[in-house]
Chains A and B, each alone.
Chain A
Amino acid sequence: MSTREERERLTLLQGTLDLLILRTLVFGPQHGQGIARAIQQTSEDALLVEHGALYPALQRLEAQGWIDARWGTSANNRKARFYTLTQAGRKQLVKESTRWRRLSTAIGRILGPEAKEG
């Protein structure tokens, strides 16, 4: 049974991870491991996603109806569960990215001067 603290930490991460997953799926269907790898590569290894944390997020997105899942075969002929972005997911992605951009700009403005110095 998880404690309350853990749950709070998760909700903090949640928005970010969800956004990254949705963004990754824009390029087409992908399985869990692929999503993890893609996030890691595109962020040039700056973001390290604990693979295990990915699955509850996928579970949640699926429940929201933003992604669909279907078993399929991977490039190297392995059975894997592939996730696809749904129409609702696309809308959510646009909404979330706009929000995120606004947020990071706002934070960037506040942090602005020091960031340059650093």
Chain B
Amino acid sequence: MAVIEREAKIVNPLGMHVRPGAEFVKVANRFKSAVAVTNGDVSVNGKSILGMMTLAAECGASIKIKCDGDDAEAAMEALLALVAAGFYEMHLKPEDEEAS
């Protein structure tokens, strides 16, 4: 059993919204380890999409990932790689400006 905790920076412009959250949950669920994610004072289950959406981590935020279980190391490696790659959507950007 291993417990690992790491910080990761959200780099995609849209932040941890639905699709990145979904990617994260998909990867987390490939492993047996429990995954917890913290942003500020909000802590959620990294295997729950609704939890991850509640997290609402914006671009530039530092999230804390905690993996607890036999395959914690592999899980951490996979999750950190996903976050570092900007959830493969570095090309998407916010354009939520109100029409004038």
Q: Do A and B come from one complex?
A: no
